[in-house]
Amino acid sequence: MNASIRCQILHADGVIEEFPVVAADEVKEAFLTLDWASEFETISALEKVHEGNPCHPYFTIFAPKGFLSLTPQPEGGFTATYPLYENAKRFGFLPVRIRTRKKIGDLTLETAGNLIGPFLSGDFASVDSMASEEGLVT
């Protein structure tokens, strides 16, 4: 794996955990085994005692060509935000590649985790296809 790829987890209490990517399987394992339920319990506890503004937790992978952010939703499921590249023509004849962001919600934990491998290998078309099959474009 490339040393310029890294992961970041923002916990509900505001603590940011950052680690370098060693292998796609390790990143997926870290995402799947994170205790997302306890993150929302922390949010509820902080809201009850009015201690600041609790953070909404997320899991983000930063890579040279973009990022994949997986965010749990309080009502269940995950939202994935990732880059999408489209070929277009400027002035009707100059080929250009346009980078946009796409956001898809209502993904299961398993589907969200399955996006990590294709993302790290740079296969954004597979990320988009897998996310679009199950989720709702938001």
Contact 67, 60 (CB under 8 A): yes
Give the global pTM. Answer: 0.79
What pLDDT score does 110 carry?
Answer: 92
Neighbours of 46 (CB within 10 A): 17
What pLDDT score does 69 carry?
Answer: 93
Q: Averaged over 94-104, what is the pLDDT?
A: 82
* 56 alpha carbon, distance to own chain's centre: 13
Taking the C-alpha atoms of residue 59 and residue 63, their distance in angstroms, rounded to an integer, is 13
Residue type, 103: K
Neighbours of 10 (CB within 10 A): 19
Q: Averaged over 43-64, what is the pLDDT?
A: 79
What pLDDT score does 65 carry?
Answer: 76
Report the candidate in 57, 66, 83 with the shortest Cα–Cα distance to residue 5: 66
Separate counts of helices (H) and strands (E) for the chain: 5, 7
Domain layout of the chain by residue ranges: 6-137
Taking the C-alpha atoms of residue 115 and residue 68, their distance in angstroms, rounded to an integer, is 9
Whether residue 70 is predicted with pLDDT greater than 90 in this model: the reply is yes
What percent of the chain has pLDDT above 90?
A: 22
What pLDDT score does 136 carry?
Answer: 65
Residue type, 93: F
Contact 77, 89 (CB under 8 A): no
- The mean-pLDDT minimum among 9-18, 30-39, 41-50 falls in 41-50
What pLDDT score does 73 carry?
Answer: 86
